[in-house]
């Protein structure tokens, strides 16, 4: 999960971008410990997404808020993919599609840098 947000701009925006970066880092670290627990991983992603939405809203910046919402949605979708892949009972599990999350991370970085 390669998401990155760099803080700059107004105080609220800067604070929100810093919090978003911490949330992304925390979710990534916790997620790494839950590889064998798809339900726990999906819950971690969902909780992280909720935090990101609030942090985007708190930024007072439309671009940051939109980017945070997009990243949150991508994170939740990834969590659902993980759950459905794990629950599918397939002997050849496929990797979840992380491209939307990567793209959302780039959008968030751009919004925070702008």
Q: Which helix (H) or strand (E) holds 53?
A: helix 38-58
pLDDT recorded at residue 42: 92
pLDDT tier at 92, thresholds 50, 70, 90: low
Report pLDDT digits (tens) over 60-81.
999 999 999 999 999 999 999 8
* Mean pLDDT in residue range 10-29: 91
Give the distance, in angstroms, between the CA of residue 69 and the centroid of all CA atoms in the same chain: 9
State how far the Cα of 7 lies from the Cα of 22, in Å rounded to an integer.
11
Structure tokens at 76: 């939740």
pLDDT recorded at residue 84: 87
Would you say 12 and 59 are in contact if contact means Cβ atoms under 8 Å apart?
A: yes
Over pLDDT 90: what percentage of the chain?
A: 55
Between 83 and 20, residue with greater pLDDT? 20
pLDDT tier at 91, thresholds 50, 70, 90: low
Structure tokens at 97: 């599609």
State how far the Cα of 41 lies from the Cα of 60, in Å rounded to an integer.
30
State how far the Cα of 81 lies from the Cα of 86, in Å rounded to an integer.
8
């Amino acid at each position: 999960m390669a998401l990155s947000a760099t803080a700059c701009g107004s105080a609220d925006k800067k604070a929100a971008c810093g919090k978003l970066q911490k949330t992304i880092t925390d979710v990534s670290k916790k997620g790494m410990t839950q590889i064998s627990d798809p339900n726990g991983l999906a819950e971690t992603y969902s909780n992280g997404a909720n935090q990101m939405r609030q942090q985007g809203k708190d930024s007072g910046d439309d671009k940051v808020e939109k980017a945070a919402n997009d990243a949150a949605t991508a994170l939740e979708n990834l969590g659902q993919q993980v759950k459905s892949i794990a629950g599918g009972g397939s002997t050849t599990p496929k990797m979840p599609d992380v491209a939307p999350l990567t793209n959302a991370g780039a959008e968030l970085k751009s919004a925070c840098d702008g």
